[in-house]
Amino acid sequence: MSEPADATPRPRLTPYRFSPADRVGSPRGLHDDYDADLLEGLPAPCIAGSQGFGDAPQLLDVRPGMQVLDVGFGCGLDLALAARAAGDGGGVAGVDSSQGAVARARSHLADLGPGLVDLRRGTAEALPWSDERFDRVLMNCSLSVFADPARALAEAARVVCSGARLAVLDVAVDPGLDPHLRAALSGFGSGVAGALPAEGLQQRIEGAGWRIVACLERRWTAGDLWGSAVLAGAGPEHRPALSPLLRRLAGRLGRITVVAEFP
Instruction: Give the residue numbers spanning the domain of 37.
Output: 27-261
Q: How far is the C-alpha of 156 from the C-alpha of 230, rounded, in Å? A: 32
Q: Evaluate whether residue 16 is within a structural domain.
A: no
CATH number at residue 213: 3.40.50.150
CB atoms within 10 A of CB 149: 24
pLDDT, residue 13, reads 28
Residues 29-48: pLDDT tens digits? 344 567 778 888 887 878 87
Q: What are phi and psi of 224, to 5 degrees?
A: -60, -45
Count of all residues that appear for the chain in the document: 263
Q: How far is the C-alpha of 90 from the C-alpha of 184, rounded, in Å? A: 42
Q: Evaluate whether residue 155 is within a structural domain.
A: yes
Measured CA angle at 206 (ends 213, 72), to 5 deg:
85
CB atoms within 10 A of CB 17: 13
Residues 112-133: pLDDT tens digits? 766 678 999 999 999 999 999 9
pLDDT, residue 27, reads 30
Given a cut of 50, whether residue 185 has pLDDT beyond it is yes
Given a cut of 60, whether residue 24 has pLDDT beyond it is no
pLDDT, residue 128, reads 96
Q: Evaluate whether residue 6 is within a structural domain.
A: no
pLDDT, residue 148, reads 95
Count of domains observed in the chain: 1
pLDDT, residue 226, reads 84
Q: Evaluate whether residue 2 is within a structural domain.
A: no
Q: Evaluate whether residue 9 is within a structural domain.
A: no
Given a cut of 60, whether residue 52 has pLDDT beyond it is yes
pLDDT, residue 190, reads 59
Q: Evaluate whether residue 59 is within a structural domain.
A: yes
Q: Evaluate whether residue 208 is within a structural domain.
A: yes
Per-residue pLDDT, averaged over 120-148, amounts to 95
The answer for residues whose C-beta is within 8 angstroms of residue 200's C-beta and 6 or more apart is 175
**196 and 168 in contact (C-beta within 8 Å)?**
no
pLDDT, residue 184, reads 66
